[in-house]
Chains A and B, each alone.
Chain A
Amino acid sequence: QVQLQESGPGLVKPSQTLSLTCTVSGDSINSAHYYWNWIRQPAGKGLEWVGRTHTSGSTYNPSLKSRVTISVDTSKNQFSLKLNSVTAADTAVYYCASLGTFSIWGQGTMVTVSS
Protein backbone atom coordinates (compact mmCIF):
# COMPACT_ATOMS: atom_id res chain seq x y z
CA GLN A 1 0.00 0.00 0.00
CA VAL A 2 1.49 3.29 -1.11
CA GLN A 3 1.71 6.01 1.51
CA LEU A 4 2.88 9.63 1.40
CA GLN A 5 4.32 11.73 4.19
CA GLU A 6 5.12 15.43 4.00
CA SER A 7 7.97 16.96 5.97
CA GLY A 8 9.61 20.36 6.29
CA PRO A 9 9.72 23.55 8.33
CA GLY A 10 6.44 24.79 9.73
CA LEU A 11 7.60 28.40 9.78
CA VAL A 12 9.26 30.33 6.96
CA LYS A 13 10.23 33.98 6.94
CA PRO A 14 8.91 36.33 4.25
CA SER A 15 11.04 36.52 1.10
CA GLN A 16 12.71 33.19 1.90
CA THR A 17 12.24 29.79 0.23
CA LEU A 18 9.65 27.28 1.37
CA SER A 19 10.99 23.73 1.04
CA LEU A 20 8.91 20.61 1.59
CA THR A 21 9.56 16.95 0.97
CA CYS A 22 7.15 14.11 0.34
CA THR A 23 8.40 10.63 1.11
CA VAL A 24 6.82 7.82 -0.87
CA SER A 25 6.62 4.38 0.69
CA GLY A 26 5.25 1.18 -0.78
CA ASP A 27 6.27 1.69 -4.41
CA SER A 28 8.92 3.28 -6.59
CA ILE A 29 8.64 7.00 -7.21
CA ASN A 30 9.83 6.26 -10.74
CA SER A 31 6.74 4.28 -11.59
CA ALA A 32 4.91 5.77 -14.57
CA HIS A 33 1.63 4.97 -12.80
CA TYR A 34 1.88 8.03 -10.62
CA TYR A 35 1.54 11.76 -11.09
CA TRP A 36 3.09 13.39 -8.02
CA ASN A 37 1.34 16.62 -7.06
CA TRP A 38 1.56 19.41 -4.55
CA ILE A 39 -1.70 21.03 -3.47
CA ARG A 40 -2.24 23.70 -0.86
CA GLN A 41 -5.13 25.04 1.17
CA PRO A 42 -5.15 28.29 3.15
CA ALA A 43 -7.11 28.12 6.37
CA GLY A 44 -10.84 28.22 5.70
CA LYS A 45 -10.37 28.35 1.94
CA GLY A 46 -10.40 26.00 -1.02
CA LEU A 47 -7.80 23.79 -2.61
CA GLU A 48 -5.17 25.20 -4.96
CA TRP A 49 -3.19 23.01 -7.35
CA VAL A 50 0.47 23.98 -7.14
CA GLY A 51 2.01 21.61 -9.67
CA ARG A 52 2.98 18.07 -10.46
CA THR A 53 5.82 15.93 -11.72
CA HIS A 54 5.84 12.71 -13.68
CA THR A 55 8.36 10.68 -15.59
CA SER A 56 7.27 12.75 -18.61
CA GLY A 57 8.07 16.09 -16.96
CA SER A 58 6.70 18.77 -14.59
CA THR A 59 3.90 21.32 -14.90
CA TYR A 60 3.01 24.20 -12.63
CA ASN A 61 0.18 26.54 -11.73
CA PRO A 62 0.75 29.57 -13.99
CA SER A 63 0.17 31.94 -11.09
CA LEU A 64 3.08 30.34 -9.20
CA LYS A 65 5.23 29.19 -12.09
CA SER A 66 7.94 31.81 -11.68
CA ARG A 67 8.48 30.82 -8.04
CA VAL A 68 7.95 27.06 -7.87
CA THR A 69 10.02 23.97 -8.59
CA ILE A 70 9.02 20.35 -8.08
CA SER A 71 11.78 17.79 -8.28
CA VAL A 72 12.35 14.11 -7.62
CA ASP A 73 15.09 12.37 -5.63
CA THR A 74 14.93 8.76 -6.78
CA SER A 75 17.65 7.65 -4.35
CA LYS A 76 15.45 8.64 -1.42
CA ASN A 77 12.09 7.89 -3.08
CA GLN A 78 11.04 11.45 -2.43
CA PHE A 79 9.72 14.42 -4.34
CA SER A 80 10.04 17.98 -3.17
CA LEU A 81 8.54 21.44 -3.47
CA LYS A 82 10.47 24.68 -3.46
CA LEU A 83 8.59 27.97 -3.47
CA ASN A 84 10.70 31.12 -3.63
CA SER A 85 10.08 34.63 -2.34
CA VAL A 86 7.23 33.63 -0.06
CA THR A 87 4.74 36.04 1.46
CA ALA A 88 1.95 35.67 3.99
CA ALA A 89 -0.31 34.65 1.11
CA ASP A 90 1.64 31.39 0.87
CA THR A 91 0.58 30.37 4.38
CA ALA A 92 -1.40 27.16 3.99
CA VAL A 93 -1.64 23.45 4.60
CA TYR A 94 0.45 21.80 1.90
CA TYR A 95 -0.50 18.33 0.68
CA CYS A 96 1.47 15.97 -1.48
CA ALA A 97 -0.67 13.60 -3.48
CA SER A 98 -0.86 11.24 -6.37
CA LEU A 99 -3.97 12.01 -8.40
CA GLY A 100 -5.88 10.21 -11.10
CA THR A 101 -6.03 6.45 -11.45
CA PHE A 102 -3.95 6.01 -8.32
CA SER A 103 -5.08 8.55 -5.76
CA ILE A 104 -3.12 8.82 -2.56
CA TRP A 105 -2.84 11.83 -0.26
CA GLY A 106 -0.47 12.75 2.51
CA GLN A 107 -1.91 14.04 5.76
CA GLY A 108 -0.81 17.59 4.98
CA THR A 109 1.63 19.90 6.70
CA MET A 110 0.95 23.44 7.89
CA VAL A 111 3.36 26.10 6.72
CA THR A 112 3.20 29.62 8.14
CA VAL A 113 5.01 32.53 6.53
CA SER A 114 5.83 35.05 9.21
CA SER A 115 8.77 36.98 10.56
Chain B
Amino acid sequence: QTVVTQEPSLTVSPGGTVTLTCASSTGAVTNAYYPNWFQQKPGQAPRALIYSTSNKYSWTPARFSGSLLGGKAALTLSGVQPEDEADYYCLLYYGGAQGVFGGGTKVTVL
Protein backbone atom coordinates (compact mmCIF):
# COMPACT_ATOMS: atom_id res chain seq x y z
CA GLN B 1 0.00 0.00 0.00
CA THR B 2 1.34 3.38 -1.01
CA VAL B 3 1.99 5.80 1.84
CA VAL B 4 2.49 9.56 1.55
CA THR B 5 4.29 11.06 4.53
CA GLN B 6 4.19 14.61 5.87
CA GLU B 7 5.57 16.14 9.04
CA PRO B 8 2.87 15.79 11.72
CA SER B 9 3.42 19.27 13.08
CA LEU B 10 5.56 22.36 12.59
CA THR B 11 5.80 25.61 14.52
CA VAL B 12 6.81 28.92 12.97
CA SER B 13 7.06 32.48 14.24
CA PRO B 14 5.04 35.26 12.62
CA GLY B 15 6.98 36.63 9.67
CA GLY B 16 9.12 33.54 9.51
CA THR B 17 9.51 30.87 6.85
CA VAL B 18 8.57 27.22 7.05
CA THR B 19 8.80 24.38 4.54
CA LEU B 20 6.45 21.42 4.58
CA THR B 21 7.41 18.27 2.72
CA CYS B 22 5.57 15.38 1.13
CA ALA B 23 7.33 12.06 0.59
CA SER B 24 6.26 8.91 -1.23
CA SER B 25 6.92 5.38 -0.04
CA THR B 26 7.59 4.43 -3.68
CA GLY B 27 10.60 6.70 -4.04
CA ALA B 28 11.38 10.21 -5.20
CA VAL B 29 8.46 12.50 -5.93
CA THR B 30 8.63 14.05 -9.40
CA ASN B 31 6.41 16.32 -11.46
CA ALA B 32 4.72 13.17 -12.76
CA TYR B 33 2.99 12.84 -9.40
CA TYR B 34 1.29 16.23 -9.98
CA PRO B 35 1.66 17.30 -6.32
CA ASN B 36 -1.24 19.29 -4.94
CA TRP B 37 -1.36 21.19 -1.66
CA PHE B 38 -4.43 22.06 0.41
CA GLN B 39 -5.07 24.18 3.49
CA GLN B 40 -7.79 23.30 5.97
CA LYS B 41 -8.93 25.36 8.93
CA PRO B 42 -11.15 23.97 11.70
CA GLY B 43 -14.72 23.40 10.63
CA GLN B 44 -14.03 24.31 7.02
CA ALA B 45 -13.67 22.41 3.79
CA PRO B 46 -10.12 22.20 2.43
CA ARG B 47 -8.95 24.92 0.09
CA ALA B 48 -6.55 24.24 -2.74
CA LEU B 49 -3.30 26.23 -2.74
CA ILE B 50 -1.01 24.57 -5.31
CA TYR B 51 -1.47 22.14 -8.21
CA SER B 52 1.01 20.33 -10.42
CA THR B 53 3.97 21.00 -8.12
CA SER B 54 4.14 24.78 -8.26
CA ASN B 55 1.09 26.28 -9.95
CA LYS B 56 -0.96 28.71 -7.90
CA TYR B 57 -4.62 29.57 -8.06
CA SER B 58 -5.92 33.09 -8.31
CA TRP B 59 -6.70 33.01 -4.60
CA THR B 60 -3.35 31.59 -3.46
CA PRO B 61 -1.41 34.18 -1.44
CA ALA B 62 1.98 35.05 -2.94
CA ARG B 63 3.74 33.89 0.24
CA PHE B 64 2.87 30.27 -0.60
CA SER B 65 5.05 28.43 -3.10
CA GLY B 66 5.38 24.83 -4.23
CA SER B 67 8.47 22.98 -5.43
CA LEU B 68 10.37 19.71 -5.48
CA LEU B 69 13.05 19.44 -2.83
CA GLY B 70 15.36 16.52 -2.18
CA GLY B 71 13.04 13.93 -3.75
CA LYS B 72 9.95 15.31 -2.05
CA ALA B 73 7.23 17.78 -2.89
CA ALA B 74 7.49 20.90 -0.79
CA LEU B 75 5.29 23.79 0.24
CA THR B 76 7.07 26.88 1.51
CA LEU B 77 5.35 29.61 3.47
CA SER B 78 7.38 32.83 3.52
CA GLY B 79 6.46 35.73 5.77
CA VAL B 80 4.01 33.61 7.72
CA GLN B 81 0.86 35.32 8.96
CA PRO B 82 -1.25 34.32 11.97
CA GLU B 83 -4.06 33.29 9.61
CA ASP B 84 -1.77 30.66 8.08
CA GLU B 85 -2.24 28.50 11.18
CA ALA B 86 -4.03 25.45 9.77
CA ASP B 87 -3.66 21.87 8.65
CA TYR B 88 -1.95 21.34 5.32
CA TYR B 89 -2.35 18.28 3.14
CA CYS B 90 -0.48 17.15 0.07
CA LEU B 91 -1.98 14.93 -2.61
CA LEU B 92 0.05 12.82 -5.02
CA TYR B 93 -1.22 11.01 -8.10
CA TYR B 94 0.10 7.56 -8.96
CA GLY B 95 -0.07 6.48 -12.56
CA GLY B 96 -1.53 9.90 -13.20
CA ALA B 97 -4.92 8.85 -11.91
CA GLN B 98 -4.94 7.35 -8.43
CA GLY B 99 -4.70 9.91 -5.66
CA VAL B 100 -3.17 9.48 -2.21
CA PHE B 101 -3.27 12.15 0.47
CA GLY B 102 -0.54 12.66 3.00
CA GLY B 103 -1.43 12.50 6.67
CA GLY B 104 -1.34 16.27 7.00
CA THR B 105 0.87 18.80 8.78
CA LYS B 106 -0.46 20.98 11.56
CA VAL B 107 1.20 24.39 11.31
CA THR B 108 1.21 26.48 14.46
CA VAL B 109 2.10 30.16 14.29
CA LEU B 110 3.60 31.13 17.61
Interface residues of A (CB under 8 A from B): 37, 39, 46-49, 52, 59-63, 95, 99-101, 103, 105-108
A-B pairs, 7 with minimum CB distance = A103-B48, A49-B99, A59-B97, A47-B101, A46-B104, A105-B45, A46-B103
Q: A46-B89, A47-B104, A100-B52 are in contact. Are A62 and B46 (CB under 8 A)?
A: no
Residue of A nearest to B98 (CB): A59
Most buried by B among A49, A60, A61, A103: A103
Q: Whole-angstrom distance between the alpha carbons of A44 and B80 in the complex? A: 25
Asked if A99 and B91 make an inter-chain contact with CB atoms under 8 angstroms apart, the answer reads yes
> 1/0 per residue B42-81: CB within 8 Å of A?
0001111001100101000000000000000000000000
The answer for the CA separation of A46 and B100 in the assembled complex, in Å, is 11
Besides A39-B101, A100-B34, A101-B52, 18 other CB < 8 A contacts? A39-B46, A46-B89, A46-B101, A46-B104, A47-B40, A49-B91, A52-B97, A60-B98, A61-B98, A62-B98, A95-B45, A99-B99, A103-B57, A105-B45, A105-B46, A105-B48, A106-B45, A107-B45
Q: How far is the CA of A99 from the CA of B34 in the complex (A)?
A: 11
Contacts of B36 in A (CB 8 A): 99-100
Q: Chain A's nearest CB lies how many Å from the CB of B28?
A: 21
B35 CB to closest chain A CB, in angstroms?
A: 11
B-side contacts of A48, CB under 8 Å: 101
Does B1 count as interface, using CB distance less than 8 angstroms? Answer: yes
Interface string of B93-107 (1 = CB under 8 A from A): 000011111111000
B45 and A47 form a contact (CB under 8 A): no
Q: Are A47 and B38 in contact (CB under 8 A)?
A: yes
B45 pairs with A108, CB closer than 8 A? yes
Question: What residues of A have a CB within 8 angstroms of the CB of B38 in the complex?
Answer: 47
Chain A residues contacting B104 (CB-CB under 8 Å) are 46-47
Cβ–Cβ < 8 Å partners of A59 in chain B: 97-98
